Amino acid sequence: MSAFRPSSFCLFHDLDSAVQSPPNFAFHSYCKSSYRAAGLAIIRRMTTLDASLPAPPADKRLPGDLAIWVFILAEMLAFAVFFAAYAFARAHDPALFNEYQQTLDRNAGALNTLLLVTGSWFVVRAVQAAHRDAGPAVARNILLGFLCGGGFLVVKVFEYAAKFGAGISLSTNTFYMFYISLTFFHFMHVILGMVILVVLWLQARKGAYTSANAHGLESGAAYWHMVDLLWIILFPLVYVMR
């Protein structure tokens, strides 16, 4: 985000000067000067004179890289469409959805919520440990977060085994089509999140994350929290709400 600050600073600066100009010149000079400001901002960035500009306030900071947040938003949008599709499909046949929802293992779903929430908690503790340069605690908490993810997968595999063992498949009915595809789509995201945690863990063991640079850790952590956030909607929606 800091990339945008120098130009916005310049624009506001020029807006002030435009307001102070005579009225007939105001708009014209504002347009000209804002182009000039944008150009100057680019030149400043290219010549790395940013340091001479006022630093953005330390409390307004997006953790991790901008790219991971764009990716997270795209993923969340895909899940939003999926959640809405489930809810509106249910509106066409609430009786069917209510009947087959009863066959789901709510205890397993709730246990998995606890596992993901706790996994997320360990990973935020890893980020906090990096910020206070508590080296070994970073890797340890990432590993604990990974184990919670592993627990989630084990519970889910047992749940799927029970359903598939009973002869249930995607084509059994609309409810099971949504249940299997929605939870499996999420399942894949848990696996990707765990792959990311392995990469973070290997880096953390080398002492890569410190108070000076925890960007990579923050980016991976944000993805892991997204996996948690999605399940927080998915669990009540598919397992409980009727």
Q: Which stretch binds other proteins (CB under 8 A): 35-43, 159-167, 203-211, 227-235?
A: 227-235
User: What is the DSSP track for 105-156?
Assistant: -HHHHHHHHHHHHHHHHHHHHHHHHHHTT-HHHHHHHHHHHHHHHHHHHHHH
Enter the tokens of residue 32: 């000209």
Q: Which of the residues 3 through 22 are near other proteins (CB under 8 A)? A: none
CB-nearer residue toward other proteins: 2 or 169: 2
CB-nearer residue toward other proteins: 169 or 213: 213
**Identity at 132, one-letter amino acid code:** R
Nearest to 231 by CA among 173, 164, 151: 151
Of the residues 3, 170, 192, 240, which one makes contact with other proteins according to CB under 8 A:
240
Nearest distance, CB of residue 67 and other proteins, angstroms: 13
Q: Residue holding tokens 């994350």?
A: 209
Rounded to whole angstroms, the Cα distance separating 161 from 224 reads 25
Rounded to whole angstroms, the Cα distance separating 174 from 98 reads 12
b/e sequence 48-57, b meaning 16+ C-beta within 10 Å: eeeeeeeeee
Q: Which stretch binds other proteins (CB under 8 A): 84-92, 156-164, 165-173, 198-206?
A: 84-92
- Rule CB under 8 A: is residue 117 a binding residue for other proteins? yes
DSSP element (H, E) containing 227: helix 215-234
Nearest distance, CB of residue 100 and other proteins, angstroms: 15
- Rule CB under 8 A: is residue 114 a binding residue for other proteins? yes
- Rule CB under 8 A: is residue 54 a binding residue for other proteins? no
| Interacting residues with other proteins (CB under 8 A) | 1, 59-63, 69, 73, 76-77, 80, 83-84, 87-88, 90-91, 94, 98, 106-107, 110, 113-114, 117-118, 120-121, 123-125, 127-128, 218, 221-222, 225-226, 228-229, 232-233, 235-237, 239-242
